[in-house]
């Protein structure tokens, strides 16, 4: 029973960690993607 509970809690912890990491990665990619257009325009303007 205790072993099952610890397995369950570790599974939840892993899921939560991966969800947070996935969300962070998504926002990071989104931030880079949205800003790359801006940076690209600035770069082209100076070129």
pLDDT in tens, 10-41: 999 999 999 999 999 999 989 888 888 887 88
Q: Please tell me the predicted confidence (pLDDT) of residue 1.
A: 66
Residue 16 domain-assigned?
no
Residue 34 domain-assigned?
yes
Residue 29 domain-assigned?
yes
Residue 7 domain-assigned?
no
Question: H helices then E strands: how many in the chain?
Answer: 1, 0
Q: Please tell me the predicted confidence (pLDDT) of residue 26.
A: 93
Q: Please tell me the predicted confidence (pLDDT) of residue 20.
A: 93
Q: 4 is written with which tokens?
A: 């099952």
Distance CA 30, CA 1 (A): 43
- Any idea of the CA torsion for 9, 10, 12, 13, to the nearest 10 degrees? 120
The count of domains in the chain is 1
CA angle 46, 35, 31 (to 5 degrees): 160
Confidence of residue 5 (pLDDT cuts 50, 70, 90): confident
Enclosing domain of residue 42: 22-47
Note the pTM of the prediction, 2 decimals. Answer: 0.52
Distance CA 45, CA 32 (A): 19
């Amino acid at each position: 029973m205790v072993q099952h509970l610890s397995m369950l809690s570790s599974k939840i912890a892993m899921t939560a960690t991966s969800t947070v990491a996935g969300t962070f990665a998504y926002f990071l990619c989104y931030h880079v993607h949205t800003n790359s257009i801006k940076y690209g325009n600035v770069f082209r303007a100076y070129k």
